[in-house]
Structure 1
Amino acid sequence: MRQSGTWMTIWDDRILEIIRDEGAKPVGELAKADAVRISHSSVSRRCQKLADHGLLLPIGNGVYDITDEGEAYLDEEYDAENEVYLTDSDSVNPSVPTETTET
């Protein structure tokens, strides 16, 4: 399951998915996409928020590209809330002691 941030909306996932699938896009093209049903100004704000959190990269003139972190988020390998990559060791609960065998 994707680890979204509390600051994220459902449209953020759609924006990231479109850019990953189709490459860098200007806000205007994103706003016209069938999968994105919010206004141009809302798309612009969402892209800026995604860029502020490192999931998109602004490349100028309102065009955004996906970052490695954005790709990892979509692949369920990045926690957008805590801005950290997920690893196998994250699945271990540090508050639960592990069994040890004494010899």
Structure 2
Amino acid sequence: MRHPGTWMTIWDDRILEHIRADESGSVGDLTDKENIRVTNTHVSRRCKKLAEHGLLKPLGNGVYVITEEGEAYLDEEYDAESGAYLDAGEQNGPTVGGAESAQE
């Protein structure tokens, strides 16, 4: 299960999926995708928000690439709300800095 941030919308997952599949994506190209049914302005805003949270990296001229964190989010290994990678041994949440491991 993916761990989206409260700031995310359904379009964010679709944008990330397309950019990962195509290795990059421009706002115009993303708007032309059949399953993204919002305006250029909305896609541009969502890409900027994803970049602010480290899931996309802007290359300029409205073109974006997915980051390592964006890949990990799509692979269900990153919590976009906390901005933390999920601990492989922990099923219920993100790795929290400074948290002590469970003692036997």
- Classify the TM-score, shorter chain: 0.7 to 0.9
Aligned partner of 2:42 in structure 1 is 42
Provide the TM-score with structure 2 as the length reference. Answer: 0.86
What is the RMSD of the two structures over their aligned residues, measured on CA atoms? 1.8
Q: Equivalents in 1 of 2:48, 2:55: separation in Å?
A: 10
Aligned partner of 1:27 in structure 2 is 27
- Number of residue equivalences: 96
The gaps in structure 2 that reach 5 residues or longer are 94-101
Q: Equivalents in 2 of 1:58, 1:99: separation in Å?
A: 43
Give the match's secondary structure for 1:57.
strand
Q: Provide Cα deviations, 1:27-80, integer angstroms capped at 9, x if missing partner.
A: 011011112111000000000000000000000111000000000000000000
Amino acid at match of 1:74: L
Percentage of identical aligned residues? 58
Q: Equivalents in 1 of 2:43, 2:64: separation in Å?
A: 11
Aligned partner of 1:9 in structure 2 is 9
Q: Provide Cα deviations, 1:77-101, integer angstroms capped at 9, x if missing partner.
A: 00000000001344379xxxx685x
Which aligned runs of 4 or more in structure 1 are off by greater than 6 angstroms? none
Aligned partner of 1:52 in structure 2 is 52
Asked if residue 83 in structure 1 is aligned to residue 61 in structure 2, the reply is: no
Instruction: Determine which structure has more spread, i.e. the larger CA radius of gyration.
Output: 1
Asked if residue 67 in structure 1 is aligned to residue 67 in structure 2, the reply is: yes
Provide the TM-score with structure 1 as the length reference. Answer: 0.86
Give the match's secondary structure for 1:18.
helix
